Structure 1
């Protein structure tokens, strides 16, 4: 829906702008010329008749009124920031259902809003970033995960433990070895999954410190992992121009472990902050429908890490 809405905004902006320009360049001069001719042929025209002859068509009035607003929204949403709502718990505890975030669209390059061709190169994802991207198996869907693997990295996820072997740079000797990403226990039971208390760990990924969740009773679904040719089960060699993404809720996230890599062309932007967060805890017998927020979590508003 987000992709279609972007196209809709562009179409409305172009249409209203073209109508405004056509009126300014063609129709308005004709109206003024008609008024001048009418005044030269009559003794005089009333102010009401003059206003009637100069009056803009309704479609022109509408275009002139909406163009500045819609153009501002299109520029803001396409090139600067775009709001997103968190629909699932795959990024818990960092992001919760009901969080509304702002995504910085220019972090990974400025792209046109229709064909998504990169116009200006402004940067690349860094390990630990929370990023939004077009789901590789269905680009009409936006996903949000954390950047775990960069191009050239070898990612190993085995027994619910993450290892990263960073890409060997040209001329680097010796090349990096797989490094276990250490994590320390924070708490147990802050979050539940099917009634099972989840383990909360503190993890450092690159320069980013964040928390993850592990379900201690859920077996690792290795049978469903994406099998990259030439690698062992649970191992992934990130190709050039692609990224490896994982959710912070490690046992409740459909991510690169299951469907592969995120192409650079699919990047939307970097999640930078929560601007509002709603609770949805309504009971079936409540008067208001379930989609009406039951409260606001003001303590969650702020930057992300």
Structure 2
């Protein structure tokens, strides 16, 4: 019903702002009142291809095209200055009202269009917006929660169609922004106008061990699921699975987790040395060990030092063989320790002893109780849009007394490969199906900067071995395709140069 009201309101606004202009362009005023047809007529008045009408119903893309059409429309009535263009854009089209009721306004015809830098830019914006919204979107790895598999400073392309393209839920928004406009900091989309959740068929289902980009479920700053902050983690449990962590080791359905070969899990290790200093430059630059924290020790080096270091089991073994290391032990919480902020809120679990926990799937009938309501509260209210009230052990969903609840969509459990330094499902719960964004497929750039000097622009270097590499789940060795790309570009530029030289030589001979 809300959509019908919005649609009718927009059509009435269109009629009130354009009916006289349609008349002056030789059309009938009633044509402005007809949905879709009025847009088709406007395209005809402005001389734009009528097939463009399809593009106006593509979320996000339509925002750019409406701006183009507004500018084209007012130019048909002699308003062709930069000031007019600015006013019609900044007023979101309402400048047309002023032109519509201006007595001296005349129809001057379609402006002769030439290929300009602006028209080329508009085409590029429309094309790039389509690719960014519906096919592939660039992402940056900002935190170490997936190290060592993914590194801080990796720039990746993420496929939106592998797990099924999610149609944008908020169709009206500023292109190339996510939830806020940079610098200004204001919201970049209209939250009140939303489309129902729809997802196109997937090329492949989410599999155990897949690295997945998704919207952070408990993001409190954004309401629309598709505008919540992006997170990237590994899916370790599917809908219907039961997971448990025992002494830091994950089991799914009673079996040890099966990870692809490219996964490199890290844990917190306590390292005791004879002297104050490990060779931190060697650890950071040659072994890629970034998170090194001195717990005890002094600069004199008279006493041994105690470090907390994030390591894979493989690198922990390497460090244990150093002469300077006297002991190394994985830092695990005890089973009796209740970690603050763990999910669900009434559990006595921690990061190393967790579960067993069942991951709900669509169609599950859950019998609600005081013991499990904290596990399903967000599902019922935040993700599936119902109201929930609790009174003396009785549950009221949408003001109806209910002791059972039917799960409406699939859920997933995500964890970071940096198991002791990752904010993941152990702390905020399940990831709903409608929050899934896509699958990382390609690393096009990787920058290693000094984390001790995050504001120093000179403290960085390129990780050449990670530039232009495909996500390879069958090997830890990343194959860089950079030489092939550079060779192809070189061949293209040489060919273009020779072709241009021949063309000029031919024109000179003809003269």
How many pairs does the alignment contain? 248
The answer (yes or no) to whether the contact 2:60–2:133 under 8 Å persists in 1 is no
Inter-partner Cα distance in structure 2 for 1:186 and 1:131: 16
The match for 1:211 is none
In the alignment, which residue of structure 2 is the partner of 1:13? 64
CA-based RMSD: 4.1
CA–CA distance in structure 2, aligned partners of residues 54 and 266 of structure 1: 48
Structure 2 gaps, min length 5: 1-57, 81-107, 171-194, 220-224, 270-282, 294-306, 315-328, 362-409, 474-511
**Contact 2:415 2:422 (8 Å CA) reproduced:** yes
In proportion to residue count, which structure has more helix?
2
- Cα 1:229–1:96, aligned 2, differ >3 Å: closer, same or farther? same
Tell me how far apart the structure 2 counterparts of residues 29 and 289 of structure 1 sit (CA, whole Å): 50
- SS at 2:251's partner residue? strand
Could you tell me which of 263, 279, 296 is aligned with 2:462? 296
- 1:124, CA displacement in angstroms? 2.7
Does the 8 A contact of 1:155 with 1:164 survive in 2? Answer: yes
- SS of 1:155's equivalent in the other structure is strand
- Residue 227 in 1 paired to residue 344 in 2? yes
Q: How does 1:129-148 map to 2 (within 5 A)?
A: 129-138=210-219, 139=225, 140-148=228-236
Counterparts in 2 of 1:163 and 1:119: CA distance versus 1, 3 Å: closer
Q: What SS does the corresponding residue of 2:129 show, helix, strand or coil?
A: helix
Name structure 1 gaps, 5 residues minimum: 1-6, 32-52, 166-177, 203-214
1:10, CA displacement in angstroms? 4.0
Equivalent residue runs for 1:139-288 within 5 Å = 139=225, 140-165=228-253, 178-181=254-257, 190=287, 191=289, 192-194=291-293, 195-201=307-313, 216-219=330-333, 222-224=338-340, 225-227=342-344, 233-240=354-361, 241-281=410-450
TM-score (norm 1): 0.68
Instruction: Please say if residues 20 and 64 of structure 1, whose CA atoms lie closer than 8 Å, have aligned partners that are also in contact.
Output: no
Taking the aligned partners of 1:230 and 1:281, their CA distance within structure 2 comes to: 38
Alpha-carbon distance between aligned partners in 1 of 2:459 and 2:158, rounded to the nearest angstrom: 22
The Cα of 1:293 is off from its aligned counterpart by: 6.1
Residues 16, 63 of structure 1: 8 Å contact kept: no
What secondary structure, in the 3-state scheme, does the structure 2 residue paired with 1:274 have? strand
For residues 17 and 223 of structure 1, the distance between their equivalents in structure 2, rounded to whole angstroms, comes to 55
| Structure 1 Cα separation of the partners of residues 459 and 109 of structure 2 | 49
The 3-state SS of whatever aligns with 1:249 is coil
Q: How far off its partner does 1:198 sit?
A: 3.2
- 1:102 partnered with 2:157: yes
On the 8 A contact 2:265/2:419 being kept in 1, the answer is no
Give the Cα separation in 2 of the matches to 1:186 and 1:148.
13
Rg comparison, structure with higher value: 2
**d(CA) in 2 for partners of 1:196, 1:269:** 34
SS in 2 for 1:13: helix
Distance 2:230 2:415 in 1: 14
- TM-score using structure 2 length: 0.42
Aligned partners of 2:258, 2:79: CA distance in 1, in Å? 74
Residues 109 and 119, structure 1, Cα contact 8 Å, conserved in 2: yes
After superposition, the Cα gap between the structure-2 partners of 1:186 and 1:264, relative to the gap in structure 1 and judged at 3 Å, is closer
User: Residues 99-130 of structure 1: CA distance to partner in whole angstroms, max 9, x if unpaired?
Assistant: 11111011111222343732422243111111
1:282 shift after superposition: 7.8
> How far 1:95 sits from its partner (Å)?
0.8
Change (3 A) 1:57 1:136: farther
Deviations 1:146-165 (A, max 9, x none): 01111000011121010001
Q: Alpha carbons of 1:57 and 1:80: their partners in 2 closer, same or farther (altered >3 Å)?
A: same
- Residue 20 of structure 1 deviates from its aligned partner by 6.2
CA distance, structure 2, for counterparts of residue 154 and residue 265 of structure 1: 21
Q: CA deviation at 1:132?
A: 0.6
1:66–1:182 Cα change, 3 Å: closer
- Flag the 1:197–1:70 CA change in 2: closer, same or farther, 3 A: same
Contact 2:339 2:348 in 1 (8 A): no
Q: 2:413 touches 2:430 (CA, 8 Å); kept in 1?
A: yes
